[in-house]
Amino acid sequence: MEYKGIAFTIAGSDSGGGAGIQADLKTFQAFDVFGVSAITSITAQNTTGVRSVQDVDPKIIADQIDMVMGDMGSGAAKTGMLSNKAIIKTVAKKIKEYKIDKLVVDPVMVAASGDRLLQEKAEKTLIEELLPLAYLLTPNIHEAEIIADMKIASIDGAKKASQKIYERGAQNILLKGGHLKQNKAVDLFYNGEKFEVLEKEKIDSTNTHGTGCTLSSAITASLAQGKDLFSAVLIAKEYITKAIVMAPHIGKGHGPLYHNVKPEPVSAFIKEAKDFDYWFDKNRNIFEAEFLAEKELFPGPENSVSIGVGSGLFASRLGIKKGVEPSENMAALARDRGIDVKIGRAEDIPYENESFKTVLLSTVLSYCIDPLKALRESYRILKKDGYILVSFLSREGSYSMLYDLARLEQKFDPDRSPEHPYPLKFIKGANWMSIENVKKMLTETKFTDLEFVQTLTRHPRYSNDEIEKPIPGYQKGDYIVIRARKK
């Protein structure tokens, strides 16, 4: 077995195990990345607070970095607690000496409570010495206010602060806006050219000790694996959400996260959004059939929303004007087609007070982490007597997709991964479900009056013993569209 990379954490030790070096190493392990470390401070703390701190001699810190980088090296590194000027200068010198370019800097200046964690006289040193070395800086609101020298009370304020921080040398900024007075946890990503607003539902939990350390180490782990920065940020946000939700309550105060959750891979659509229309065009025989089946059961565009709208190809042709999509790149394509898109997942639809007559889930369930939750969310936003349309590629239909992709490439090898169309492993990796699976989930969600349309003809070349029997009265098909009603 091999690790997927080596990640380096330069930070303080938390005797309570929820933050600092301990949280970083647990997170690296969850990502199947080998973790190495240099300890900068030793703290005596638990879930209720910090009793004492002992800084490590800068020479010992330098020796730790030398021993790690001189032998094992690292694909990415992060810094956490660097509590005084001498430590900051030492770490910055070593970062430059070993040319560590994928550096995530968690500034650890001010706690979520507003309490200062870095000596004020060292703040200038951190801003001048370390910040310009940061591939990504991950400040919370309080830290961003200090670095940008301004108050932040809104998203617009966060954007202005991010621009100021960028001008001070950080290549990219992830401003953690969890403490803005918003109904949602809103983080802001800025790369010097454009902003990405990343929204998540706020989680009501006291098990949040070490979230900043864990988030930055999750990003570092993905960078060590070779992932691009924005994908690393999205993966880390999914990971931190699950780690908070699944956390058991340990201790008498703010408990630690549950680090042993597996990070979810970013959808291939996020990286390859620009090629989606190309892929659609090359597979028009497949997707046109799906579109026609959806059109057959579609009640009409009035007061409709498409969940997982993608690039908006189907929704725009059906006349749908609203959509939800987790990928900002795909959402941009849909917006170009005239669709008002909100960023969100099918399991957490970002409509709280608005309801719809029709909800379209176009091939969404095959890619959901929790398809049943996605159906319940759709049920929630539907009006009484409203309709849900679920289109999906059945398990037997996935073999048809493999056949058609291979045929287009003139090579019938299901393990081959051509650049265009999408890699076959992308198709194989989806959670293809049987018709019975989807029917059961719809019924469990209390949808009624199920109607079906099936399309295409199954290609026997890629089949196995799990051939599904068609619904009585329907022909064998690959794409299935089911319409159901909320009574």
**What average pLDDT does the structure give for the chain?**
83
Please confirm, yes or no, whether 411 is among the known catalytic residues: no
In a domain, 214, yes or no: yes
Query: What pLDDT is attached to residue 167?
Result: 96
pLDDT above 80 for 399: no
In a domain, 86, yes or no: yes
pLDDT band at 114 (very low <50, low <70, confident <90, very high): low
3-state secondary structure of 259: coil
pLDDT band at 7 (very low <50, low <70, confident <90, very high): very high
Residue where one domain finishes, among candidates 228, 250, 265: 265
In a domain, 82, yes or no: yes
96 vs 425: CA distance, rounded Å: 40
pLDDT above 60 for 406: no
Query: What pLDDT is attached to residue 199?
Result: 77
pLDDT band at 484 (very low <50, low <70, confident <90, very high): very high
Task: Tell whether 343 and 407 lie within a shared domain.
Answer: yes
Mean pLDDT on 452-474: 45
Q: Which is the catalytic residue, given 85, 176, 237, 439?
A: 176
In a domain, 371, yes or no: yes
What is the per-residue pLDDT across 36-90, written as a single tens digit (0 to 9) for each?
999 999 999 999 988 999 999 999 999 999 999 999 999 999 999 999 999 999 9
3-state secondary structure of 22: helix
* Beta strand segments in 47-115, E: 49-55, 76-79, 103-105
Please confirm, yes or no, whether 368 is among the known catalytic residues: no
In a domain, 1, yes or no: no
Task: Tell whether 90 and 162 lie within a shared domain.
Answer: yes
In this structure, the dihedral spanned by the alpha carbons of residues 65, 70, 71 and 73, taken in order and rounded to 10 degrees, is 70
Task: Tell whether 131 and 145 lie within a shared domain.
Answer: yes
Task: Tell whether 83 and 216 lie within a shared domain.
Answer: yes
In a domain, 341, yes or no: yes
pLDDT above 50 for 467: no
Q: Which is the catalytic residue, given 20, 212, 255, 323?
A: 212
In a domain, 210, yes or no: yes
pLDDT above 70 for 462: no
CATH number at residue 436: 3.40.50.150
Task: Tell whether 260 and 304 lie within a shared domain.
Answer: no
Please confirm, yes or no, whether 242 is among the known catalytic residues: no
In a domain, 333, yes or no: yes
Task: Tell whether 170 and 307 lie within a shared domain.
Answer: no
Q: Which is the catalytic residue, given 210, 310, 344, 386?
A: 210
Task: Tell whether 340 and 246 lie within a shared domain.
Answer: no
pLDDT above 80 for 30: yes
Please report where in the chains the tokens 């059945």 appear, as a residue.
Answer: 394
Task: Tell whether 233 and 347 lie within a shared domain.
Answer: no
Mean pLDDT on 431-454: 84
pLDDT above 80 for 335: yes
Q: State which of 24-28, 243-247, 431-435 shows the largest mean pLDDT.
A: 24-28
Beta-strand pair 173-177/184-190: antiparallel
What is the per-residue pLDDT across 189-237, written as a single tens digit (0 to 9) for each?
999 998 988 877 677 788 889 999 999 999 999 999 998 898 899 889 9
Please confirm, yes or no, whether 323 is among the known catalytic residues: no
Report percent pLDDT > 90 for the chain.
55
CATH number at residue 125: 3.40.1190.20
Residue where one domain finishes, among candidates 265, 298, 332: 265
Q: What residues contact 424, with CB distance under 8 A and at least 6 apart?
A: 402, 405, 406, 414, 415, 416, 417, 418
205 vs 469: CA distance, rounded Å: 46
Residue where one domain finishes, among candidates 215, 233, 265: 265
Task: Tell whether 384 and 302 lie within a shared domain.
Answer: yes
Query: Given CA atoms 154, 158, 163, 167 in this order, what sign does their dihedral have?
Result: positive
Query: What pLDDT is attached to residue 213?
Result: 95
Q: Which is the catalytic residue, given 208, 358, 445, 455?
A: 208
Structurally, how many domains does the chain consist of?
2
pLDDT band at 283 (very low <50, low <70, confident <90, very high): low
Q: Provide the phi-psi class of 338: left if phi over 0, else alpha when psi is between -120 and 50, else beta.
A: left
pLDDT band at 162 (very low <50, low <70, confident <90, very high): very high
List, as one string, the DSSP characters of 282-297: HTHHHHHHHHHHHHHH
Q: Which is the catalytic residue, given 43, 138, 211, 214?
A: 211
Task: Tell whether 238 and 324 lie within a shared domain.
Answer: no
pLDDT band at 273 (very low <50, low <70, confident <90, very high): low
Q: Which is the catalytic residue, given 90, 213, 237, 322?
A: 213
Task: Tell whether 118 and 216 lie within a shared domain.
Answer: yes
In this predicted structure, which of 56-65, 112-121, 164-173, 254-263 has the lowest mean pLDDT? 112-121
Whether the CB-CB separation of 9 and 37 falls below 8 Å is answered with: yes
Whether the CB-CB separation of 190 and 198 falls below 8 Å is answered with: no
Domain residues for 286?
270-485
3-state secondary structure of 218: helix
Nearest to 148 by CA among 121, 130, 170, 129: 170
Task: Tell whether 261 and 277 lie within a shared domain.
Answer: no
List, as one string, the DSSP characters of 163-196: HHHHHTT-S-EEEEETTSS-SEEEEEEE-SS-EE
pLDDT band at 468 (very low <50, low <70, confident <90, very high): very low
Mean pLDDT on 146-157: 92
What amino acid is encoded at 193 in this protein?
E
